[in-house]
Amino acid sequence: MSAVSASPAIAPQHFEIRPFSGAVGAEIIGLDLSRPINDQDFARIHRGHLDHHVVVLRDQRISPQQQIDFSRRFGVLQIHVLKQFLLAGHPEILIVSNIVENGQNIGLGDAGKFWHSDLSYKELPSLGSMLHAQELPSEGGDTLFADMHKAWDTLPEALRKAVEGRSAAHSYTARYSETKFEGNWRPTLTPEQLAQVAEVVHPVVRTHPENGRKALFVSEGFTTRIVGLPEDESKHLLDELYAHSVLPQNIYRHQWQPHDLVFWDNRSLIHLAAGCPSHLRRKLYRTTIQGDAPF
């Protein structure tokens, strides 16, 4: 009988997780995603993500495939409905970019224009997303993250009572017609695409499946109405929730550095792209990990 050789152990990496001083977030220094990551290091990154909700992995010189492989360790990857903005040969990557080449938009230029949690319009919204900087503008282009656990924890009693036990509808097309003619990033959806993004209903307050904390789960980007309320009442309530969600003390503003990979938890946060002057090139690669049905 031939001897079975054990696979070589993966060496640990030496890295630090440094919490930011503000509301949420931490940076991870010294980790190299182009090298293999052993189970203990992976568990630390996972823990850091759960504790800080958004982690900034500095200086990641990785290929699209390495971003996909790392993302897959957290779960199944979701493929975006706008197929024309997927990276050639890597449909797991959505190109987020304002760049026009040969008269064509190379990516989704207005992704994140409104506060949102990625893919909240799906039955299984996203667990988390990773955005890897490819080209950054010399001015602007920040991404803002708001802590929806804090939003819930600090919600005034009257608003808590108004939303507890309620559900809200989410739709990919909620803002589509508003953005359709600004930059040609929103083509008319085919019947097949529309079927993929049919309206869904989720609880207004969800419980995080891993940390057990409650979080508000509505956003101006995709939430259309609170189920069972008259339209004006629903709109008024949602406006109050949106305003409360993005109070300055609950926000981390990410100013991108070259080769940053930012990994956030869509069950804990909503986010917003602050935008940059349109003549400055900005390109990032996004992978989006599928999560559980909110409860």
According to DSSP, residue 76 is labeled: P
Annotation says 186 is catalytic: no
Q: Which residue's beta carbon is nearest to the bound ligand SIN?
A: 112
Order of all β-strands in the sheet with 167-170: 200-203, 167-170, 223-226
Nearer to ligand SIN, 134 or 167 (CB): 134
- Measured in residues, the chain has a length of 295
Nearer to ligand SIN, 130 or 162 (CB): 130
Shortest separation between residue 34's beta carbon and ligand SIN, angstroms: 23
User: How far apart, in whole angstroms, are the C-alpha atoms of residue 80 and residue 84?
Assistant: 10
Indicate which residue of 206, 254, 267, 271 is catalytic: 271
Indicate which residue of 118, 147, 260, 265 is catalytic: 118
Task: Round to the nearest angstrom and report the end-to-end CA distance of the chain.
Answer: 52
User: How far apart, in whole angstroms, are the C-alpha atoms of residue 42 and residue 71?
Assistant: 11
Indicate which residue of 49, 132, 149, 286 is catalytic: 286
Shortest separation between residue 143's beta carbon and ligand SIN, angstroms: 4
Indicate which residue of 116, 175, 202, 244 is catalytic: 116
Shortest separation between residue 50's beta carbon and ligand SIN, angstroms: 20
Q: Judging by beta carbons within 10 Å of its beta carbon (0-12, 13-18, 19+), is residue 16 exposed, middle or buried? A: exposed
Order of all β-strands in the sheet with 251-254: 251-254, 143-147, 269-273
Interacting residues with ligand SIN (CB under 6 A): 96, 111-112, 143, 271, 273, 284, 286
Nearer to ligand SIN, 37 or 273 (CB): 273
Least Cα distance to 181 among 241, 109, 83 occurs for: 109
Shortest separation between residue 215's beta carbon and ligand SIN, angstroms: 18
DSSP states of 235-247: HHHHHHHHHHHT-
Annotation says 286 is catalytic: yes
Nearer to ligand SIN, 230 or 258 (CB): 258
Tell me the catalytic residues: 116, 118, 271, 286
